[in-house]
Amino acid sequence: MDMTGVRLTELVEAAGCAAKIAPGELAGVLADLPRVPSEKLLVGFDASDDACVWDLGDGRGLISTTDFFPPMVDDPFLFGQVAATNALSDVYAMGGSPALALNLLCFPNCLGIEAAGQILAGGAEVCSRAGCVVAGGHSINDHEPKYGLAVTGFVELRQLLANGGAQVGDALVLTKALGTGVLTTAAKAELLDAAGLRVATDSMTTLNEAPLRLARELGVWPHAATDVTGFSLMGHSCEMAEASGVTLEVDAAAVPVMARAREMAALGLIPAGAYRNRDFFAPRVAMAEELPLDLADVLFDPQTSGGLLLALGEKDAERLVDALVDEGLPAAVIGRAVPRGEKSVVVG
């Protein structure tokens, strides 16, 4: 809450990545956009990747991405931290390192300017941890507060990751637990205490740099990667499966879920984005009939600043998960890639 006594979450209709445009509507818009071909553009938006990559001609790629959204928490500094962590995640999902960021801030007149400063300070703290320079930005007046970053990073092209590289036989690794959308929805409804929400905020402010750093140290490297954000684990799994020409089998019991997320889901505290995700992606997912509804809801839950979904060799995946768990991250092997079947994702 800022000095005016106004709660940030009172000013928004949707929170965090749950505010994304419905995936079906977005796909229709993108399909009609003109393409400007270039041999230098190595990754664009054709396969729903997390960022674009431009060939610098020296063995490196320039990664460019942007992400911003309305607040899912009331503390301005914490909101800034979450939004910045989320924006930087796209660079890590491409196998790169963030280098430069520009602030994007929409701010209502009903909030004190001190709150704007706290949002920017939260973003700056995260960028500092990531070794990313904040070099400026842009701000406008808006009836809803929104914040994020435009980020530039770099990647060695031999280590460039995309969501289309999963191979038959790969294991699937998820590096963070699910449940941020459900828990922040419950907190907004004042049905979740501070300790319950802290599980989500601690995760949302954890950078996704560890999986790449540890993979390099172990001498292993994923074949494909994406970060799990507003389109949910199911949505981003569909995108990876379809871009790779495989089917992903997901063991629902192995998926890490945040404490109390299933409890809140069972009470019906589901963000609207989860229903949009289910409407669009469910026809491409075969879900076991015996799967509990609350768990299914979490699998379609829009994640804010979620973890990475990685596809890599089975033994490499086990070594990477062990290293991530040793660092205190709730990583797990949650499934595997199999030959392409009728559905993009099969959940059992």
> Poorest-confidence range of 9-23, 89-103, 129-143, 317-331?
9-23
Residues assigned a catalytic role: 17
Separation CA 241–CA 98 (nearest Å): 26
DSSP, collapsed to helix, strand or coil, labels residue 180 as helix
For position 17, what pLDDT does the model report?
Answer: 54
pTM of the complete model: 0.92
Residue 341's contacts (CB-CB under 8 Å, 6 or more residues apart) are 247
Residue 6: pLDDT band (50, 70, 90) is low
**What does the alpha-carbon distance between residue 262 and residue 257 come to, in Å, rounded to a whole number?**
8
Interval 42-76: pLDDT, tens:
988 775 777 899 999 999 999 999 999 999 899 99
Binned at pLDDT 50, 70 and 90, residue 8 comes out as confident
Burial track 74-110 (b if 16+ CB lie within 10 A, e otherwise): bbbbbbbbbbbbbbbbbbbbbbbbbbbbebbbbbbee
Percent of the chain as helix, strand, coil, to the nearest 5: 40, 25, 35
Provide the percentage of residues in the chain whose pLDDT is more than 70. Answer: 91
AA identity, residue 63: I
Mean pLDDT of the chain: 92
Q: What domains does the chain contain, in order, with CATH numbers?
A: 8-159 (3.30.1330.10), 171-347 (3.90.650.10)
pLDDT score for 241:
98
Task: At 284, list the tokens.
Answer: 């491409």
Per-residue pLDDT of 309-342, as tens digits, reads 999 999 999 999 999 999 999 999 999 999 999 9
Please answer whether residues 207 and 92 qualify as being in contact, where contact means their C-beta atoms are separated by less than 8 angstroms.
Answer: yes
